[in-house]
Amino acid sequence: MTFAPEPFSQRWMASAALQSLSLRVDGREQVTIGEVLDCLGRTGVGLTIVLLSLITLIPIPGPLGVGLGTCLAFVALQVMAGSRRLWLPEWLRRRHLSPPLLQKMCARATPWLQKAERRMRRRRLKGLTGTLARSLIGLLMVLLGIAIALPLPTGNLLPAISLILLALAMTARDGMAMLAALGVSALALAWTGVLLVAGAQITDRLLTWTGLA
C-alpha cells in the first residue's frame, strides 16, 4: 500500500503529518517503516527524524532502541551531507511497526508538537539554520543517535527529545528555537555521559565483588 504525501503547505508541520499518518494506518494489521516514511512524502529529513525519535519513546522490549538509534545516526549523516531526500536501507524499510502503538504515539505526541509549532517562527535568526549550521547540527544529531543506540537505562528520553526539538527547529528554520534545542541537546549528552560513567563504576564493582577483576 502506498501513501500519498502531505500537501506542500503543511510540509514542515510534524503535528499535521502525524495526524494524517494516524488516519492512514487505522485498521491496518501491520505497517512498515518504509510505508510510514512514504506517508511523509517530501517533507524532508527533519520530520523523519521527529517520527523516528518519537518511536524510540515507545516502551517496546528488544533491540528496537539500538536499531532506531543507529538509523537516526545514519539519517543525521545525511543531514551533515546536506541531503534533502532521505535514503534508508531496504532491510530497515521492511521492519514492521504496530499500527495501534503508532496511533497511540501520534495521539499523545500531536498536542505537544502543536504547542511547540505555535511558538515557532519561520526564518527567525535564519543563520542558525543555514547550510553551514545544518552540517554542525547534523554532527550533533549523530552523537544523539549514538546515545539512543547505547543500551543505557533511561538513556533514550533526553536524546530523543533533543532530536525532536532540533529537527523541528531545522525544518521550520527557526534560529531562536534552535538555540533552545541546542541547550537541551547539551543536557542530553551530559546525562548520557553520567550514565556511562555510572555504568562503568557499577560494572567495576561487580567484577571486584565476584573476584573477576
Q: What are the pLDDT digits (tens) for 76-95? A: 888 888 776 677 778 778 88
Positive or negative, the CA dihedral 166, 87, 92, 66 is negative
Q: What are the pLDDT digits (tens) for 9-28? A: 445 567 777 788 788 888 88
Cα–Cα distances in angstroms (integers) from residue 24 to residues 17, 40, 99, 132, in the given order = 11, 11, 10, 36
Q: Is the pLDDT reported for residue 7 higher than 50?
A: no
Q: What are the pLDDT digits (tens) for 117-171? A: 777 777 677 777 777 788 888 899 999 999 888 877 777 889 999 999 998 888 8
Phi, psi angle pair for 207, to nearest 5°: -65, -40
